[in-house]
A and B are shown apart, each in its own frame.
Chain A
Amino acid sequence: MKADVANLSGDYTYLTDGYYLSLDAEQGGLNVLPTTAEALDAYVVAIAMEKARMAGIPVPEHQIITDRFPAPPLMAYPINPFTLTGELLLDAAAIEARRKGLTYTGKYAVLVQPLPADYRVDMLRLVLGRSLVPQYEEFGAALFELFRLPLMRVRVIVTPKEYMLSAIEPLPFGQLSQEERALLEGMGRWRA
Chain B
Amino acid sequence: MARLAVFTERYTIRSSVELTALTNFRLAAFEQGHELDFLFKNELKYLRNYDGILIRALTDPLNTSYVVARHAELLGKRVLDHSSAILICCDKVNMYKHLEAHGVPMPDSRYLNEDDLTPFTAVRLFEELGTPLVLKAPNSSFSAYVDRVTTPEEFVKVGRRFLRRADRIVVQQYLPSDFDWRVITLAGKVLAVVKYAFAPAQWKLMDRSAEGEWANVVGVDPATVNPKLLSTALAASNAIGGSLYGVDLKEIDGDFYVIEVNDNPTIAAGEEDQANPNIYAEIISYLANGD
Instruction: Please list the residues of chain A having a beta carbon within 8 angstroms of any beta carbon in chain B.
Output: 14-17, 19-20, 23, 27, 36-37, 40-41, 44, 46-47, 50-51, 54, 63-68, 79-82, 84, 107-109
3 closest cross-chain pairs (CB), A and B: A15-B166, A81-B141, A46-B67
B93 interface neighbour in A23, A51, A54, A65, Cβ under 8 Å: A23
Instruction: Please list the residues of chain B having a beta carbon within 8 angstroms of any beta carbon in chain A.
Output: 11, 41-42, 44-45, 60-64, 66-67, 70-71, 74-75, 83-84, 87, 91, 93-94, 97, 101, 113, 138-139, 141, 165-168
Query: B139–A108 contact, CB under 8 A?
Result: no
Q: What separation, in Å, do the CA atoms of A41 and B168 have in the docked complex?
A: 22
Chain B residue numbers with a CB within 8 Å of A63 are 45
Query: A47–B67 contact, CB under 8 A?
Result: yes
Chain B residue numbers with a CB within 8 Å of A50 are 70-71, 74-75
Query: A108–B64 contact, CB under 8 A?
Result: yes
Given contacts A44-B67, A109-B42, contact A15 B11 (CB under 8 A): no
Could you list some 5 contacts between A and B, CB below 8 A?
A20-B113, A46-B64, A47-B67, A64-B44, A81-B60
Closest to B71 in A: A50
Query: B141–A65 contact, CB under 8 A?
Result: no
Chain A residue numbers with a CB within 8 Å of B45 are 63-64
Q: How far is the CB of B13 from chain A (nearest CB, A)?
A: 14
Q: What separation, in Å, do the CA atoms of A65 and B42 have in the docked complex?
A: 5
Given contacts A23-B97, A47-B71, A81-B63, 16 further A-B contacts (CB under 8 A): A14-B61, A14-B91, A15-B138, A16-B167, A19-B167, A27-B97, A36-B87, A37-B87, A40-B66, A51-B74, A54-B74, A64-B41, A66-B41, A79-B67, A80-B62, A81-B139
Query: B62–A44 contact, CB under 8 A?
Result: yes
Report the number of A-B residue pairs with Cβ-Cβ less than 8 Å: 85
Chain A residue numbers with a CB within 8 Å of B70 are 40-41, 44, 47, 50
Chain A residue numbers with a CB within 8 Å of B93 are 20, 23
Q: What separation, in Å, do the CA atoms of A87 and B56 have in the docked complex?
A: 29
Closest to B167 in A: A17
Chain A residue numbers with a CB within 8 Å of B60 are 81
Closest to B75 in A: A50
Query: B62–A84 contact, CB under 8 A?
Result: yes
Query: B61–A40 contact, CB under 8 A?
Result: yes
Chain B residue numbers with a CB within 8 Å of A36 are 87, 94
Chain B residue numbers with a CB within 8 Å of A108 are 63-64
